[in-house]
Amino acid sequence: MLAIQTKELRKSYGPHEVVRGISLRVNQGEIFGFLGRNGAGKTTFINMLTGIVRPSGGEFSILGTPRGQLDRVKRHIGVLPDYTEFYGNDTALEHLRYFSGVKGLKVSKRECLDVLDKVGLSQAAYVKTKKFSFGMKKKLGVAQAILGQPGLIFLDEPTSGMDPESALEMQQLIRTLADKRQTIFMTSHNLHEVEKLCTRIAIMKRGNITGLGTIEELQRTFQPGMQVTVKLAARSEELYGKAREALQQQGVCRIQSWDERHLTAEIGEEADIAAVIRVLCSHEVDMFSVQTARLSLEDIFMLD
Ligand SMILES: Nc1ncnc2c1ncn2[C@@H]1O[C@H](COP(=O)(O)OP(=O)(O)OP(=O)(O)O)[C@@H](O)[C@H]1O
């Protein structure tokens, strides 16, 4: 069973098509990263899947249940929305107990306290939420989303506004949830976090998915080859001229840029590094180091 399946899902506001026919499959237990610039359509897409926004076209199913029967699985879906506001005179614990009642979850006080502990709010269980900082509200939002161990959890920017330590703890919590086969569908503008956490990533641009896959698959899609940077043993015009000439003559790589000491070239695959090193050695080019690099998620995200 898939956690999420969408087919040609679309949404328009008047003449403005915000989500343009997205087909996506998310497996159970994945930490799926959903990226896009501000206004790309991420929240609208999530809001359709959680029943907040009515699609203009297309189909989807959640945990094997089609869109028309979403009420049947709502208890198994957790959501951290893109805004987190609470009734200020309630404590964190009161809020969770009230929320679990509204959602029809059978959750004990002990479980609510456990969840508050997991998000790092154990000290604030009996504190009124009007005294909460932005980061604490975000944590309470996550607590609400994971209450009752839902099979699918939507997290809209789960760590934004958190201090670095809290963000790391939240990332660890997300991993723990996925280890228990709970599916996470998350947005984040922290690309480093996404690169570290997510099993697969979709990049959304102007309502379309322009990239989809693991980080390695995205790298291969957007840069079929690899980049190799040779740092020469010394800053020397002669050495660098020799290196350039040797590599160009042998055609083992395509030189992209160079300065007085570094020479950066594109190679077809990792195994071609050996050929580059062989050519340079046979032409007596002394090297300090040879490094390969692939595009980072940030590089890929910035591509238009
Ligand atoms: N209710 C609405 N009525 C009209 N336009 C809307 C509505 N909701 C969203 N939009 C428009 O849809 C587009 C996508 O918005 P959405 O909030 O889905 O983007 P996003 O990718 O989540 O952005 P962000 O990263 O800033 O949260 C925007 O141009 C927005 O103005």
Give the domain CATH number at 54: 3.40.50.300
How are the residues of the chain apportioned to helix, strand and coil, as percentages rounded to the nearest 5? 40, 30, 30
What is the reported pLDDT for 35?
96
Tokens 């046979």 identify what position? 282
Collect all residues with Cβ–Cβ distance below 8 Å to 135 and sequence separation of at least 6.
Answer: 161, 162, 163, 166
What is the number of the ligand 1 atom nearest to the C-alpha of 207?
14
Task: Pick the last residue of a domain from 185, 213, 241.
Answer: 213
This prediction has a pTM of 0.87
- Measured in Å, residue 7 CA sits from the centre of ligand 1 at 20
Q: Give ligand 1 pocket residues (Cβ under 6 A).
A: 13, 18, 36, 38-44, 82
- Rounded mean pLDDT, 278-295: 90
Task: Pick the last residue of a domain from 192, 213, 234.
Answer: 213
Query: Is the domain of 97 the same as that of 76?
Result: yes
- Rounded mean pLDDT, 168-187: 97
Q: Are 119 and 132 in contact (CB under 8 A)?
A: no
Higher per-residue pLDDT: 114 or 221: 114
Q: How far from 176 is each of 9, 29, 109, 151, 182, CA to CA, in Å?
A: 30, 10, 22, 13, 9
Higher per-residue pLDDT: 154 or 244: 154
- Which of 35, 44, 53 to mutate for ligand 1's pocket (most ligand atoms within 8 Å of CB)? 44
Q: For all residues of the chain together, what is the average pLDDT? A: 92
Amino acid at 120: G
**Model-level ipTM above the cut of 0.90:** yes
**Closest by Cα among 108, 133, 104 to 121:** 133
Q: Whose CA is nearest to atom 3 of ligand 1?
A: 13
- Measured in Å, residue 6 CA sits from the centre of ligand 1 at 19
Task: Pick the last residue of a domain from 163, 183, 213.
Answer: 213
